[in-house]
Chains A and B, each alone.
Chain A
Amino acid sequence: MNRQIVQLFAVFALLFGVLVVFTSRWTVIEAESLADNPNNRRPLIEEQRIPRGLILASDGRTVIARSRGRGRGQNRIYTRTYPTGALFAHPVGFSYIRNGRRGLELSRNDDLVGEEDEFESILSGLESRDQEGNDVVTNLDVGGTEAARNGLAGRKGAVVAIEPQTGKVRVMVSVPEYDPNAIPAQIKQFNRDRANQPLLNRTTQELYPPGSTFKVVTAAAALDSGTVQPDTVIDGSSPRTISGVPLENAGGQDFGPISFTDALTNSVNTVFAQVGERVGRERLVEYMRRFGFYEDPQLDYPDQYMIPSGILNGDGDFVEDGFDAGRVAIGQGGLEGEIRAGPLQMAQVAAAVANRGRLMKPRLTDRVVRKDGRVKERIEPDLQAVVMRPETAEALAGMMSRVVEEGTGTAAALSGIAVAGKTGTAEVGANREFTQPWFICFAPVENPRMAVAVTVERTTGQGGTVAAPIAKSVLEALLGGAAG
């Protein structure tokens, strides 16, 4: 009998081994797919139990997002509310168990829920603390944002303001907006609203023809590569044949021989088209890349809600060659390649010129603060690219300041503060019956503290009359008392 008992034990040892194998299967091998199983509500329940940190405006006091708790003890759960309503909806986004997350709520999720690395979680385990979210202090300015929003006055469009030296994004406004508090009830309607697309962040997710504001990019490439100088005289007559097709200046105005500086002041198309052809496609694309075109903005914002700017062909694909360099240089193009840019990208163009050619990475977040007030992480300024030499940037800044002093952008002039800028007015619509007015600028010229890009969607009127006044009010709000 003893032999059988020993054999029986071997059978049980084997069976218990099977149990260990299956336990490992569920606890380790297939743990991830089980955690992702749509029937598994554990991750959602766990999330609801964590009080997410606050999201604050740059003043450190204005609460943009907070968590409100319900229930007691083990049953306490938290939901998100947004005291500022629609004001910061696009940069900050929302976070709901059922509707998912967007904006900073998504890109800073780990900070907001207090996700910690291995060492810290062991420490907090010893202290047996509950998981608690950190606060995120943004760079977003309440006054500047309100000014931008009032300036757009309900018209579809976008405003972005960046600090050139640091890359801090102080204003990110996209109209139409949505109230993040209404997301749980209305997200379906928002998604279905094809006409207004309230959930679309027009600063990072939409591209427009930049019109003459793109001449700043062309000028940077031309000056920095030595193709032209500010005082180089070029024939500004109209029309001129570019790529075999006649090109006219705005209103058909004939400027005759004109300096490159005056050509920017008066936004002379024929001059810039010739300069673009002299710069060449290859070099133009190279400078565009330095400005950040052809890649997602390097913003602390979810990738799926950002798209690159660049030259797109008729099929909507990015192209780097074969396009009409003359027409792209003035912010237009044709079927083989047409320039398209997002408002954040154009604000970065202004910021790069303002910061003596050094483009800083744009940042929505200033710092992450623990509940006890200690700063967990401070986002330091970070160089994205050296776009041009400092001398080039200074020369270009001087040319742009003339635009506001005496050219197309006088509506942006502030008393007491010198502003440098560039207007743009792209024609859009099937019969070119609408315009896409733009204004990009920075101020003060001698020591730039703010760069702004403004655009209004499918309207009528010029960049200098429609967009420049909005930029002016945003600059006034952001630069404070010095403005008149």
Chain B
Amino acid sequence: MSARTRELFGLLPVSLLVAAGFAAVIATRSENVSDATLTYGAFFLGLCVLAHLFIRARLPDADPYLFPLAAVLAGIGLVLIYRIDAELAREQAQWFVVGLAFFCVTILVIDDHHVLERYRYTIAAASIGLLLMPRLPGIGAQVNGAFLAIKVGPIQFQPAEFAKLGIIVFLASYLRETGDILVRPRLRPLPYQRQLLLWGIPVALTLLGIALLDLGVAGSVLLGVFLISFAAVIRDRPSPKHFGPLLLVWGLAMFMLIFIRDLGSSLMFFGGFLALLYVATGRLSLIGVGSTMFFGGAFFLSRSVAHVQERVDIWLDPFADEVVDDEGYQLAQSLFAQADGGLFGQGFGQALLELPGGATILPAAHTDLIYAVLANEAGLFGAAGLLGAYLLFVYRGFRAGLSAADGFSKLLATGLTAVLAIQVFVIVGGVTRVIPLTGVTLPFVSYGGSSIVANMVLLALILIVSDHARSEARRRGGLV
């Protein structure tokens, strides 16, 4: 069976799932299942088959599972949004069509993803520009204290969703080139005395820091890890001039914390960066320096940026009397909704979403808290199933990276996949109180035009890499 035929068969269960989901929601609404659900399922299936035919024509060797997985996620998202508000679901369906259009255009325009390398600095500059736009007077819009959206007339979009693609493209290209020379292992081990000096200084500094500065446990660990990682980087003969752009990325993440005031997207960018840095260099020491610098910076800034500080406080205790009806309401209600779901959930369309007055009980149910709605309606099993689908997507994305021949392709596929996985972790982790709750979307599932369009482009890029890798392998007579 060819890859494309497998993809087509993969779409069948997807459509059944979507039709069943709509049927459940409509059944609880109007007590009789109309033909409408079949129409929804058929329409969705039709769109997916069209996209499939397009992939068949343009990327015959691309991974067969990624597109059905994205489709199942988008389908679950549509059902949940339809259940929250039918009008929103109609808009989301339109955005899905637009997203598919962008998907096709991306595949048409980018015949070979290596062309992106040529424009890497342009792409980087454009991405940073996109990130700054929400702070521009006139078009910037503040949502829940964070500057994540821009508004031009009736159109509102979230530039960070697109910027993440550009930044990954840039980093993949830059690290492909500099990954090997960023650090160069010494051919001979250092003399004994210098080894002692190398490790002794950071240990002494750490102890000194703990003794002199009042850092607390977290601060002490951060300082220790930072200094020891830093020593390990120095041992490997770093190339200072190549660290410039990397410091820039760190600065960008800190800048986002200050000016965009959003911990979530900042974490997403920097996490993607660290993942790529590790894949390109294989140095844990770099990750040690990078992550401690990020957390140290975030820790410091959380004390000065009120919005971030507040998010952290809510995370530590969402039920505290002074926040539970106010800033902490969203997280508290998210946990209550999950508790209401239990093992198997209340069933699609059954969960309580509205207060008797008509006000919604879950703020931003269709975006930030859509995972909580799923846990409420489909229970632990449904939620774990969703995470399983994401993990499969990540697995296939990394497979594309593994099978790619050149460094840029590997880094691009891995980076795009990683940034999506981190985004899932940031929002689901926020909703489940693993980390502070911030407003990023759940890829493919949450309501939001920018999100669905950007993630369809992300999918297209991974499929392009995958197609190249697999067609090459096929030519060499290997993997089919």
Contact = CB atoms under 8 A, between A and B. Distances in A.
Interface of A: 1-9, 12-13, 15-16, 18-20, 22-28, 30-32, 34-35, 37, 39-42, 45-46, 48-49, 71, 74-75, 77, 125, 128
Contacts of A35: 336, 339-340
B383 A12 contact: no
Contacts of B341: 27
Contact of A128 (B28, B357, B379): B28
A37 B402 contact: no
Interface string B394-427: 1100100110000100110010001001001100
B35 interface: no
Contacts of A4: 278-280, 282
Contacts of B383: 20, 23, 27
A48 B424 CA distance: 36
Contact of B380 (A2, A24, A41): A24
Given A12-B418, A16-B391, A24-B380, A2 B402 contact: yes
B342 A23 contact: no
B335 interface: yes
A125 B346 CA distance: 10
Interface stretch (B149-157, B308-316, B428-436, B469-477): B428-436
Interface in B234-260: none
25 contacts: A1-B279, A3-B282, A5-B414, A8-B398, A9-B398, A12-B391, A12-B421, A16-B421, A19-B429, A19-B432, A23-B338, A23-B380, A25-B432, A26-B335, A26-B375, A26-B432, A27-B338, A27-B380, A30-B339, A34-B336, A35-B336, A40-B332, A42-B340, A45-B355, A75-B356
A46 to B, nearest CB: 6
B301 interface: no
Interface in B344-384: 347, 352, 354-358, 361, 375, 379-380, 383-384
Pairs A-B, 5 closest by C-beta atoms: A34-B339, A26-B338, A22-B432, A31-B339, A4-B279
B410 A39 contact: no
A120 to B, nearest CB: 16
B214 interface: no
Nearest to B372: A26
Consensus secondary structure, chain A interface: helix
A77 B358 CA distance: 11
A30 B319 CA distance: 14
Interface string B130-165: 000000000000000000000000000000000000
A5 B429 contact: no
A7 B332 CA distance: 35
Given A2-B402, A9-B394, A27-B341, 9 more contacts: A5-B402, A12-B418, A15-B425, A26-B339, A28-B380, A30-B339, A31-B339, A42-B352, A45-B361
Nearest to B339: A34
A42 B335 CA distance: 12
Interface of B: 27-28, 31, 275, 278-280, 282, 319, 324-325, 332, 335-343, 347, 352, 354-358, 361, 375, 379-380, 383-384, 387, 390-391, 394-395, 398, 401-402, 407, 410-411, 414, 418, 421, 424-425, 428-429, 432-434
Nearest to B394: A12
Contacts of B361: 41-42, 45
Contact of A8 (B357, B390, B418): B418
B391 A75 contact: no
A364 B428 CA distance: 51
B428 A19 contact: yes
A125 B358 CA distance: 25
Contact of B342 (A27, A41, A46, A48): A27
Given A1-B279, A12-B418, A42-B352, A27 B379 contact: yes
Nearest to A74: B354
A24 to B, nearest CB: 5
Contacts of A41: 361
A412 B414 CA distance: 95
Nearest to B279: A4
A27 B361 CA distance: 18
Contacts of A16: 387, 390-391, 421, 424-425
Given A28-B380, A39-B332, A128-B28, A1 B410 contact: yes
A27 B375 contact: yes
B403 to A, nearest CB: 9
Nearest to B387: A16
Contact of B27 (A46, A48, A128): A128
A51 B333 CA distance: 25
Nearest to A18: B434
B401 to A, nearest CB: 5
A75 B31 contact: no
A41 to B, nearest CB: 8
A7 B398 CA distance: 11
